[in-house]
Amino acid sequence: MSSIRCKAIQAALDIASHVVSARHLGEPETNRALFDLLRREKLVSQDLADALHAMAGFRNVLVHGYAEVELRVVHDILENHFDDLLSSAEQICKNLGL
């Protein structure tokens, strides 16, 4: 698995956390809730929030070993959903006027 892509998932979470904190959008109880708060404020689309939810859950599996990881699933996510990470940064920047 590409360490750059794994770091990209964490970066999306970090960006979301900083935006939520700076804008006082609420106190998320989970990483997934970060993306709900961004969606509520129309900083990301519903579709993107859904994709990022899945990535946050996937990150937890990788980091905490909650379940056995299937390499086929890891490959699929990183090959077919990496653009969602890039889209999150683009949507947030655009909607913040950056």
Catalytic site includes residue 32: no
pTM of the model: 0.63
Query: Is the pLDDT reported for residue 98 higher than 50?
Result: yes
Catalytic site includes residue 59: yes
pLDDT tens digit sequence for 34-90:
999 999 999 888 988 888 887 777 766 666 565 565 667 666 766 776 677 777 777
Catalytic one among 5, 32, 64, 81?
A: 64
Catalytic one among 59, 72, 75, 81?
A: 59
Contact 60, 34 (CB under 8 A): no
Which domains, and CATH codes, for the chain?
Answer: 3-95 (1.20.120.580)
Query: Is the pLDDT reported for residue 94 higher than 70?
Result: yes
**Rounded mean pLDDT of 13-18?**
88
User: What local confidence, expressed as pLDDT, does residue 66 receive?
Assistant: 53
